[in-house]
Amino acid sequence: MKFNEIKNLNPQLLKSLNEINFIDMSPIQEKTIPLALKGFDIIGQAETGTGKTGAFGIPILNSLNSDIKNIEHLIITPTRELAKQINDQLLKIGKYLNPKIALILGGVPYEKQVKQLSLKPNILIGTPGRIIDFLKSKRIKLCNIKTFTLDEADELLNMGFKEDIETISSFLPKKRQNFFFTATFDEKTKKLVELIVDNNHKNISVSSGLKTSSNIKQEYILVKEKTKFTSLIKMLQFYQPNSIIIFCRTKRRVDELNEALRKLNFDAIGIHGDIQQKNRTFIMNQFRNNKKKILIATDVVARGIDIEHIEWIINFDLPQEIEYYTHRIGRVGRNGNKGYSLSFVKIDEIEHLKEIERKTKSKIKEIQIPNEEEIYKNWRKTIDQKFNLIIKNFDDENPFYLEEELVNKFSHKEMAIIITHYLLKEKHKYKKINLTPEPSVILKGQAKIRNIKNKINHFYKNNNSKKKLNK
């Protein structure tokens, strides 16, 4: 279904959609928008990258009256990055509707946000903690809210925002339209649904649960903790991907890995939750605008970040929660594009990886790190490229007396050795870098019990026994 087939869609909205080449609706949009325009509450289950922002954003913008000086639409997200991305998307889609949007986020100076509120916005996008701060200080009033949107509701709960959401909803009028979007459903999510949405709601699901996209080639290498960094360098130097996110489990790991890669002249930048918001925005813009090739991150960017040029996802550390594996690698393979994910797995993490395979319905193939001969050939190619670049950019004004002195002093072989050593000095530098070890990710709970049962059953089967563990 195409956007121009939707009844009662504002022509100015359709005009901006055409300009940004939004012609065909995604499945979640096709199922959601017509019902949302009729006023139904929506419970939508879909992963990031499926067009959810348009699914709730277009109905919101379609009902927008920019002449009204009240906040009529409230959107809550788990992270600042996702809030900023929704803001940017709504401004694009609503280009000719003049939406006035305020971003209320933690980590940003209050004065800047107070100034945004003084402009009488129609739409408020924010993270729960800061919104509550503004409600308690009576800087914002939400008594005129027409639509209330929770995006990535399951992640809001995972981050401990349940009470905050309950508090915020207590400030809202009971008569309103609700959009509730989540990637996964569990008992906690269902209870929050009961609190937020009307009984006369519509359930829409285009989610495959934890299933990963068939557009993503998934592989892993078996490593020891102490060889992770050298293995990473070999993979980066050999394959030379242009745009990568490397996921780490902790903030410390992000900082250490970022510093180590930058020492080796890799074009890297790191991001995690302890970095100030203005710096996080700068970091994301650097990566988004191709000014940095490598983004090293915690799971703060595992959801909602839509950057088309990303080629590789590297799980430097496996996530404990399997859903985060799906979200992480979901940064590639979007909008029909092909993507690649590579996981670094320690021997005691194999069972956890097998559980990831099972739950995500994925095939994750083991590969080997390029051998020394392959790396050597690649380095030779790199040397040739660097030599050619030096010759190409040679400045005729360089002092010829120095050139003549070097030629007279050193043989051709000695000169070649000196230059090669200089060009490849990074090769040996990384061997001196040690990261703080991270503990392995191992199976827990029912997954661990199931794995033990499977091993026992496998043992009985291999020993030609009819016994089988049933309990």
Residues of the chain with CATH 3.40.50.300: 3-205, 210-440
Residue 25, SS3? coil
Rounded Cα distance between 64 and 70, Å, is: 11
| pTM beyond cutoff 0.85 | no
Of 52-66, 75-89, 179-193, where does mean pLDDT reach its minimum? 179-193
CB 375 within 8 A of CB 237: yes
Q: How large is the angle between the packed helices 412-423 and 372-392, nearest 10 degrees?
A: 100
Q: What are phi and psi of 247, to 5 degrees?
A: -95, 130
Of 16-30, 256-270, 324-338, 390-404, where does mean pLDDT reach its minimum? 390-404
Nearest to 59 by CA among 136, 125, 149: 149
Rounded Cα distance between 102 and 116, Å, is: 6
- What tokens were used for 82? 């996702």
Rounded Cα distance between 17 and 66, Å, is: 19
Strand pairing report for 177-182 and 147-150 = parallel
Residue whose token pair is 């990831």: 356
Is domain 210-440 in CATH 3.40.50.300, yes or no?
Answer: yes
pLDDT digits (tens, 9 = 90+) for 330-388: 899 877 789 999 999 999 999 999 999 998 989 999 999 887 777 777 767 766 776 77
- DSSP-derived letter for residue 299 is G
Is the confidence at residue 218, as pLDDT, over 90? yes
Nearest to 305 by CA among 104, 106, 18, 89: 89
Is the confidence at residue 460, as pLDDT, over 90? no
- The more confident residue out of 188 and 161 is 161
Q: How large is the angle between the packed helices 228-239 and 372-392, nearest 10 degrees?
A: 50
pLDDT band at 462 (very low <50, low <70, confident <90, very high): low
Rounded Cα distance between 390 and 71, Å, is: 59
Q: What pLDDT, on a 0 to 100 scale, did the predictor assign at position 211?
A: 81
Rounded Cα distance between 69 and 301, Å, is: 34
pLDDT digits (tens, 9 = 90+) for 144-186: 999 999 999 988 998 899 999 999 999 999 999 999 998 888 7
Q: What pLDDT, on a 0 to 100 scale, did the predictor assign at position 248?
A: 97
Q: What pLDDT, on a 0 to 100 scale, did the predictor assign at position 379?
A: 67
pLDDT band at 323 (very low <50, low <70, confident <90, very high): confident
Q: Where are the alpha helices (DSSP H) in 149-199?
A: 153-158, 162-170, 187-196
Nearest to 250 by CA among 177, 190, 317, 309: 317
CB 89 within 8 A of CB 54: yes
Residue 291, SS3? coil
Nearest to 63 by CA among 173, 166, 144: 144
pLDDT band at 212 (very low <50, low <70, confident <90, very high): confident
CATH architecture assigned to 3-205: 3-Layer(aba) Sandwich (3.40)
Q: What pLDDT, on a 0 to 100 scale, did the predictor assign at position 417?
A: 75
pLDDT band at 471 (very low <50, low <70, confident <90, very high): very low
CB 126 within 8 A of CB 83: yes
Q: What pLDDT, on a 0 to 100 scale, did the predictor assign at position 466?
A: 47
Q: What are phi and psi of 125, to 5 degrees?
A: -120, 130
Rounded Cα distance between 448 and 61, Å, is: 48
Nearest to 142 by CA among 106, 111, 168: 168
Torsion, Cα of 192, 193, 196, 200 (10° steps): -160
What are the Cα distances from residue 324, in Å, to 228, 327, 332? 21, 5, 14
Q: What pLDDT, on a 0 to 100 scale, did the predictor assign at position 399?
A: 56
Residue whose token pair is 């191992």: 442
Q: What pLDDT, on a 0 to 100 scale, did the predictor assign at position 396?
A: 59
Q: What are phi and psi of 409, to 5 degrees?
A: -85, -35
- What tokens were used for 114? 């107070």
Average of per-residue pLDDT across 252-264: 94
Element (H, E) at 441: none
